């Protein structure tokens, strides 16, 4: 049997897709694959991510190809996959998650807490921008675009003094770059960060059965909790929410921090549940966030987005 896979053309996307292929072949050596690269809006639109008021900019075109049967399934960075997929598609598989934390890379080897005052720090994420300024209000944070290699090169070339990135991409690409691992307490990641999401058509039962062979149940439970939370608070590139779920003994624990756009206020909620009740856990955390005033925290984000867009 041969399957056609759709993915973005970046080195990270291709590396992730080839990893998925290698994992499936361990379970089904006779299965063959063809990889097709597809450009997405996120690949062609150079604006900062938070200024694009649209979900799925890194996956919509690829998932459309799945729905139209041009490819059989798609491999995504899971944080790019909207919580609500088209009716005929399904998140068929969530393999084992890489490290979910962020890292800091400086052109002089400094750490974020020691880098010089006024240093120019790049990030593509409004969440990270808020987190940086909360602990280092004396640095300048500016939007940066491009793939991981491009962003790191901009640091090494002196265009930026430092950059904050996800560790998972650096690990998957095998980049031998020196970095500071950032604490999950001060830099909780985006929901789904570090995980992969494989999308297929709901009616492709035999393919889904094959993909399930490389699913990691622990990662799936954690992701379901984070995505459930995202659905109920409508988080995304324009609303900085840090969320991370993980198994703690025999319980599933979800910790969420929501920031005001200026970074001056935050709300933290942490709850746990049975591992089988991941969706309920996300909903419970979202409910408590609403009770603690998440609507007030979120209301000024539009002004901040415009301010950043003019930098």
Total-model pTM: 0.89
CA–CA distance from 217 to each of 27, 40, 159, 212 (Å)? 17, 29, 42, 10
pLDDT at position 173, please?
96
Whose CA is closest to 56, among 87, 77, 37? Answer: 77
Is 203 a known active-site residue? no
What is the sign of the dihedral through the CA atoms of 237, 242, 247 and 252? negative
Whose CA is closest to 245, among 195, 290, 186? Answer: 195
Residue 49 has pLDDT above 60, yes or no: no
Domains of the chain: 1-96+195-215 (3.40.190.10), 102-188 (3.40.190.10), 216-311 (3.30.160.40)
pLDDT at position 185, please?
92
With bands split at pLDDT 50, 70 and 90, how would you rate the model's confidence at 241?
confident
Most confident of 127-136, 208-217, 235-244: 208-217
Q: What is the DSSP string of 26-74?
A: HH-TT-EEEEEE---HHHH--S-GGG---S-TTTHHHHHHHHTTSSSEE
Instruction: Give per-residue pLDDT as tens, 274-302.
Output: 999 999 999 999 999 989 988 777 766 65
Name the active-site residue from 80, 102, 161, 272.
80
Burial (0-12, 13-18, 19+ Cβ within 10 Å), 63: buried
Scored b (16 or more CB within 10 A) or e, 121-131 reads bbbbbbbbbbb
Of the two residues 124 and 200, the one the predictor is more confident about is: 200
Instruction: Give per-residue pLDDT as tens, 60-85.
Output: 899 999 999 999 999 999 988 988 89
pLDDT at position 215, please?
98
pLDDT at position 21, please?
98
pLDDT at position 51, please?
46
> Which bin fits 11, alpha (ψ -120 to 50), beta or left (φ > 0)?
alpha
Instruction: Give per-residue pLDDT as tens, 190-218.
Output: 999 999 999 999 999 999 999 999 999 99
């Amino acid at each position: 049997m041969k399957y056609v896979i759709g993915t973005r053309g970046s080195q990270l996307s291709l590396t992730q897709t080839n990893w998925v292929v290698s994992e499936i072949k361990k379970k089904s050596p006779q299965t063959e694959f063809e990889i097709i690269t597809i450009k997405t809006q996120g690949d062609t639109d150079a604006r900062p991510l938070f200024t694009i008021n649209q979900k799925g900019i890194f996956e919509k075109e690829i998932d459309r190809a799945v729905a139209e049967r041009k490819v059989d399934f798609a491999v995504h960075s899971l944080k790019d996959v909207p919580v609500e997929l088209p009716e005929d598609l399904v998140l068929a598989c969530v393999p084992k998650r890489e490290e979910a934390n962020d890292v800091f890379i400086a052109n002089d080897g400094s750490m974020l807490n020691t880098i010089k005052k006024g240093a120019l720090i790049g990030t593509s994420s409004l969440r990270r921008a808020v987190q940086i300024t909360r602990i280092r209000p004396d640095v300048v944070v500016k939007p940066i675009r491009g793939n991981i290699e491009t962003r790191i090169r901009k640091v090494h070339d002196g265009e930026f003094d430092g950059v904050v990135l996800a560790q998972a991409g650096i690990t998957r690409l095998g980049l031998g770059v020196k970095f500071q691992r950032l604490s999950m307490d001060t830099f909780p990641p985006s929901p789904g960060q570090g995980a992969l999401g494989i999308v297929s058509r709901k009616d492709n039962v035999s393919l889904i059965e094959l993909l399930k062979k490389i699913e990691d149940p622990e990662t799936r439970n954690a992701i379901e909790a984070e995505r459930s939370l995202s659905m109920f608070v409508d988080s995304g590139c324009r609303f900085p929410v840090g969320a991370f779920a993980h198994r703690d003994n025999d319980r599933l624990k979800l910790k969420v921090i929501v920031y005001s756009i200026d970074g001056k206020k935050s709300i933290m909620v942490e709850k746990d549940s049975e591992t089988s009740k991941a969706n309920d856990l996300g909903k419970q955390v979202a409910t408590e966030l609403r009770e603690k005033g998440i609507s007030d925290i979120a209301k000024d984000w539009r002004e901040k987005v415009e301010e950043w867009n003019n930098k």
